[in-house]
Chains A and B, each alone.
Chain A
Amino acid sequence: MAETKAPVERPLSPHLFIYKPMLTMTMSIVHRVTGAGLYFGTLLMAWWLIAAASGPNSYAGIGSFMSSFFGRIILFGYTWALIHHMLGGIRHLIWDTGHGFGPQERERLAVATLIGSIAWTIIIWVVGYLFMGGPR
């Protein structure tokens, strides 16, 4: 009867990569990535607390690592990840109440999370350096 048509090349299912990256989508991914980062970052907190409990020498050891350039980069990233995940989490809690899903609202929430996390990270570090003498 009829000849079979050549199959049209189309995605089999709505695949992630056919979408243009949107802010809300990127923020969702960042929320997961920061969460995973914080997960392994708890090792730093454990190291810090164990060092404090172990005595002055151990504490000086982690102090010199944290105040090194590499250590400060890690701590700065950790600060941002912590604040970003917290603000992103608050966004999710707002969504849990059924609010904030409008096209403009969700965009605004995403922008607020991003700006808020960067601003708070900078504020925390400025306070750390100015008033507490910075990580020594």
Chain B
Amino acid sequence: MVAGRMSTPLARVLGLGSAKSGTEHFWRQRLTAVANVPLTVAFVVIVVGLLGRNHAAVVQILGSPLVAIIMLLFIASITTHMRIGMQVIIEDYVHDEVTKFFLLMANTFFAVAVALACAFAILMLSFKV
């Protein structure tokens, strides 16, 4: 992010670089990475705790407030994190502008669809109980 002599004082003071988004991308990836650590540990504990249980028990546990809230936070955090991560992969390897454009779109669609599907299922389980 070099704001040379050619840039205006405003451009230099904003310091947003060519991507026009500054360090937002970097920061959000780190933020969700930190959140992912305790949430992933909790997710693994929840899944192991549900192994071998029948459907009724799984519905009751997944739909209980604490577990449901942890699952919703986990889903929100990982889908944000994975969208940014896959965007980096696409930007690294896909150099054809049109293909890149569509893949970046597909990436966002996928992340939002997974997030919404998971969150919807959790809410269904919560409010059915």
Contact = CB atoms under 8 A, between A and B. Distances in A.
A53 B125 contact: yes
Contact of B52 (A59, A82, A96, A136): A136
Interface string A69-95: 000000000010011001001101100
Interface residues of B, number: 34
User: Per DSSP, are chain A's interface residues mostly helix, strand or loop, or mixed?
Assistant: helix
Contacts of A93: 30, 33-34
Contact of B58 (A35, A42, A52): A52
A123 to B, nearest CB: 10
B33 A92 contact: yes
Contact of A132 (B49, B79, B128): B49
A90 B40 CA distance: 12
A46 B117 CA distance: 6
A96 B125 CA distance: 39
Contacts of A103: none
B59 interface: yes
B69 interface: no
A133 B125 CA distance: 24
Contacts of B124: 53
B61 to A, nearest CB: 10
Interface residues of A, number: 34
B52 A134 contact: yes
A45 B55 contact: no
Interface stretch (B4-12, B82-90, B95-103): B82-90
B16 interface: no
B52 A89 contact: no
Contacts of B40: 82, 86
Contacts of B59: 52-53
13 contacts: A35-B89, A43-B114, A46-B117, A52-B58, A53-B59, A53-B122, A53-B124, A56-B56, A89-B33, A89-B36, A90-B37, A93-B33, A133-B52
Given A35-B82, A42-B82, A132-B52, 14 more contacts: A35-B89, A36-B86, A45-B118, A46-B121, A49-B122, A50-B117, A53-B59, A53-B121, A86-B36, A89-B36, A93-B30, A93-B33, A93-B34, A127-B48
